[in-house]
Amino acid sequence: MIKVSIIGAGTMGTGIAQIAATKGHQVCLYDTFDGAVENSKLKLNKILNRLVEKERISKDEKENILSRINFTQDIKDVKQSGLIIEAIIEDLEIKKKIFKELENLVDKECIIASNTSSLSIASIGGACQRAERVLGIHFFNPAPLMPLVEIIPAVQTSKETLKNAKLIIDSWGKTTVLTKDTPGFIVNRVARPFYGEAIRIYEEGIADFATIDWAIKELGGFKMGPFELMDYIGNDINYTVTETVFKAFYYDTRYKPSFTQKRMMEAGYLGRKSERGYYDYSIDMPKPIKNRELGKRILWRILSMLINEAADALFLNIASKEDIDLAMTKGVNYPKGLLIWADEIGINNVLNVLKDLQEEYGEDRYRPSPLLRRMVKENKSFY
Ligand SMILES: NC(=O)c1ccc[n+]([C@@H]2O[C@H](COP(=O)([O-])OP(=O)(O)OC[C@H]3O[C@@H](n4cnc5c(N)ncnc54)[C@H](O)[C@@H]3O)[C@@H](O)[C@H]2O)c1
């Protein structure tokens, strides 16, 4: 079994190290900052203790998992790895620098991957002499629990690297989807309207946070409403992803961030972690207005925007229809794949909602994907 090294012992690095060690790999978990690996070890110990309490693993298994991980501040310990997954700070220049350094420490067969959420894999790979062994392997938080992993070959990535990386991640019991090296990959691109359109509906004064969340959960079957979810993710993190995707798409207005969320972030209303976000968690939650007609309008508007985004990703060959649907159900727990959902509710109905919105607002953000128009014209369905 190959040795796996993880660079960066933060939230994601610790989670990925837990998966690899649980699957029996020798793991090197490296971080440069004082206290980071110690913290990571404490956190992992706590998580594993909980798994022992719940009888998911035995005490011996827990000890074995921990004993397989070398928590280190010496980057040379990555030597002899078959796979390295980088999960450090989201900064292109710092990532490039570390990729250059890593490349000189391992054999030419070693795959070097980045867990970046938003940076281009081609640019990270560009820092390496042998960019054909570089690709994106994007886990979701919390990594040990979320089944989805996006696999992202860059233009430089070899077929062999892609095949071998996928084999390893599949062997860890993850659901892998293949996606093009474009901003947000699948999930962080297709999910944008879930947040953005919900905020827009609030900004227009159509409904409050609680009512929008209620509509999405009660009528749409989503586990969490957009505002609850943004508070859970953190308004700082969610806003940054939106802004990064917007800039990366050359300021396509479809991805335009909102002032509402920016102000939340600036005010320090980050969500659950700061006790206050869209909701104030120190007082009782506000009650939604349970008006089904209003709820349906909210759901249809957000859902049509999501389906449009999924259809456009398919139109531009970002991923297969199956992988787009899998990504949204396994990466962000949507109740159904968006494209199969479109078939069920009728693509013409989705197109009509989008056309109406575009006509009413005259904004490019509502432009329907050419694929939806084409499918309606040809009377086709996704499946
Ligand atoms: N948190 C998420 O929800 C999430 C989900 C998917 C992907 N990601 C991506 O994963 C990466 C890590 O995110 P995170 O949330 O785990 O961050 P984090 O801040 O929890 O952890 C980053 C770790 O990297 C270390 N680090 C920073 N610079 C370093 C360097 N030069 N060398 C070695 N270690 C260094 C830090 O000490 C820290 O421990 C980012 O690229 C992020 O975009 C995050």
Under the banding of pLDDT at 50, 70 and 90, the label for residue 66 is very high
Query: In the predicted model, what is the mean pLDDT of residues 223-231?
Result: 97
As a whole number of angstroms, the distance between CA 332 and CA 196 comes to 16
Question: Which ligand 1 atom is nearest residue 36's CA?
Answer: 39
What are the structure tokens assigned to 236, written together? 């700082």
Ligand 1 pocket test target in 6, 30, 31, 91 with most atoms within 8 Å of CB: 31
Instruction: Kindly state the helix (H) or strand (E) to which residue 354 belongs, with its residue range.
Output: helix 347-361
Query: In the predicted model, what is the mean pLDDT of residues 45-64?
Result: 97
Is 381 one of the annotated active-site residues of the chain? no
Q: Looking at the DSSP assignment, which residues form a beta bridge with residue 336?
A: none
At 66, which amino acid appears? L
Question: Which ligand 1 atom is nearest residue 97's CA?
Answer: 31
Q: Ligand 1 site: residues with CB under 6 angstroms?
A: 7-13, 31-33, 36, 87-90, 94, 98, 115-117, 139-141
**What's the pLDDT tens digit per position in 247-263?**
999 999 999 999 999 99
Q: Pairing between strand 111-114 and 81-86?
A: parallel
Confidence at residue 118, expressed as pLDDT on a 0 to 100 scale: 85
Query: In the predicted model, what is the mean pLDDT of residues 76-95?
Result: 96
Q: Looking at the DSSP assignment, which residues form a beta bridge with residue 69?
A: 27
Residues 150, 197, 228, 309: which is the catalytic one? 150
Query: In the predicted model, what is the mean pLDDT of residues 283-296?
Result: 96
C-alpha 249 – ligand 1 centre gap (Å)? 23
Q: Where are the alpha helices (DSSP H) in 149-286?
A: 159-171, 187-190, 192-203, 209-214, 226-233, 235-248, 259-267
Q: Is the peptide bond before 142 cis (omega within 30 degrees of 0)?
A: yes
Query: In the predicted model, what is the mean pLDDT of residues 18-44?
Result: 97
**pLDDT of residue 174 exceeding 90:** yes
pTM here?
0.96
- CA angle, corner 35, sides to 30 and 41, nearest 5? 65
Residues 25, 81, 138, 197: which is the catalytic one? 138
Sketch out the chain's domains with CATH numbers. Answer: 3-178 (3.40.50.720), 188-377 (1.10.1040.50)
Cα-atom radius of gyration of the chain, to the nearest Å? 22
**What's the pLDDT tens digit per position in 134-143?**
999 999 999 9
Under the banding of pLDDT at 50, 70 and 90, the label for residue 99 is very high
Confidence at residue 215, expressed as pLDDT on a 0 to 100 scale: 98
Is 188 one of the annotated active-site residues of the chain? yes
SS3 state of residue 136: strand
What residues contact 109, with CB distance under 8 A and at least 6 apart? 82, 133
Instruction: Kindly state the helix (H) or strand (E) to which residue 75 belongs, with its residue range.
Output: none
DSSP structure class, residue 217: I
**pLDDT of residue 338 exceeding 90:** yes
**What's the pLDDT tens digit per position in 118-136?**
899 999 999 999 999 999 9
Question: Which ligand 1 atom is nearest residue 12's CA?
Answer: 16
Confidence at residue 104, expressed as pLDDT on a 0 to 100 scale: 96
As a whole number of angstroms, the distance between CA 174 and CA 148 comes to 6
Question: Which ligand 1 atom is nearest residue 114's CA?
Answer: 41
Confidence at residue 306, expressed as pLDDT on a 0 to 100 scale: 98
SS3 state of residue 189: helix
Residue with tokens 């640019």: 123
Query: In the predicted model, what is the mean pLDDT of residues 202-223?
Result: 98
As a whole number of angstroms, the distance between CA 233 and CA 254 comes to 21
DSSP structure class, residue 28: E
As a whole number of angstroms, the distance between CA 48 and CA 184 comes to 31
